[in-house]
């Protein structure tokens, strides 16, 4: 399913870019793992004012040659809007006996402007998405809220984003500590890793962002997928217990906390 209309997904939806292959007869040649990238317009790959999409899942798939990378990106959605959606997709894939091995969740950008929602509340809603995945046995990567032009201009938005990311980082750290006490299931619900936003919004990276200062350019989404690849590879290797290379380079220790 790609480019689904608002009528088929949700009445207030701005737009969706979705590719789900669990209901196809077979994975692409050589693929032994499946990843779902889930989130808002930054997962959809929104650019050129929404007239085109370049999802980072395509880049991720190019850098992890034995992995199928599907995506479900919902432009304009908040973490509240997404509630229930991730669990449903992962559950359907499991029921079709084509389960995803890992979900990458990047959400929260659209929540920052809602003054009714505190940073703690936004973090709880994002964490609830991870819990949906964990409930069906799928571990997750938690990608922090990226920077933006609005955050660089409005201190309260930057402070809120930083607070949400700090809360998510702490939740991921706590979940990993819980996993260390229970090794019975390598793909347990506690397997969650926090990843700092891989593409910064700064002068050196300005060419990776659209003029709106909110969405990445196609080059930016390509870099996003490339930089997430080693984190996805590490998670899949931990899940499978395999030491095989999937294609990504080892991640920098400064990019994540767990």
pLDDT digits (tens, 9 = 90+) for 179-208: 444 443 433 434 789 999 999 999 999 999
Count of CB atoms within 10 A of residue 248's CB?
Answer: 22
- Give 239's pLDDT tier (boundaries 50, 70, 90): confident
Let me know: does 110 contact 13? Beta carbons within 8 Å.
no
Instruction: Evaluate if residue 154 carries a pLDDT over 60.
Output: yes
Predicted TM-score (pTM) of the model is 0.85
Task: Write down the residue that tokens 């959400």 correspond to.
Answer: 107
Paired tokens of 185? 């299931």
Please name which of 148, 52, 57, 138 lies closest in space to residue 108, comparing C-alpha atoms.
148
- Give 214's pLDDT tier (boundaries 50, 70, 90): very high
């Amino acid at each position: 399913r790609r480019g689904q209309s608002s009528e088929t997904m949700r009445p207030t939806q701005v737009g969706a870019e979705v590719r789900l292959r669990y209901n196809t007869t077979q994975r692409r040649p050589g693929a032994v793992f499946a990843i779902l990238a889930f989130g808002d317009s930054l997962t959809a790959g929104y650019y050129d004012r929404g007239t085109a999409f370049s999802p980072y899942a395509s880049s991720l798939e190019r850098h992890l040659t034995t992995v199928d990378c599907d995506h479900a990106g919902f432009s304009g959605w908040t973490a509240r809007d997404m509630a229930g959606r991730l669990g449903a997709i992962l559950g359907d894939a499991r029921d079709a006996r084509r389960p995803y091995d890992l979900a990458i969740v990047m959400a929260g950008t659209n929540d920052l402007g809602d003054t009714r929602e505190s940073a703690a509340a936004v973090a709880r809603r994002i964490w609830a998405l991870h819990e949906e995945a964990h409930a069906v046995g799928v571990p997750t990567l938690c990608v922090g809220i990226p920077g933006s032009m609005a955050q660089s201009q409005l201190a309260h938005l930057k402070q809120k984003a930083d607070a949400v990311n700090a809360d998510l980082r702490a939740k991921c750290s706590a979940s990993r500590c819980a996993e260390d006490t229970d090794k019975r299931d390598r793909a347990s619900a506690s397997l969650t890793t926090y990843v700092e936003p891989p593409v910064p919004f700064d002068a050196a990276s300005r060419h990776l962002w659209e003029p709106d200062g909110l969405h990445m350019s196609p080059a930016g989404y390509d870099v996003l997928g490339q930089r997430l690849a080693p984190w996805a590879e590490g998670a899949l290797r931990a899940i499978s217990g395999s030491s095989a290379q999937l294609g990504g380079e080892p991640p920098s220790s400064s990019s994540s906390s767990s």
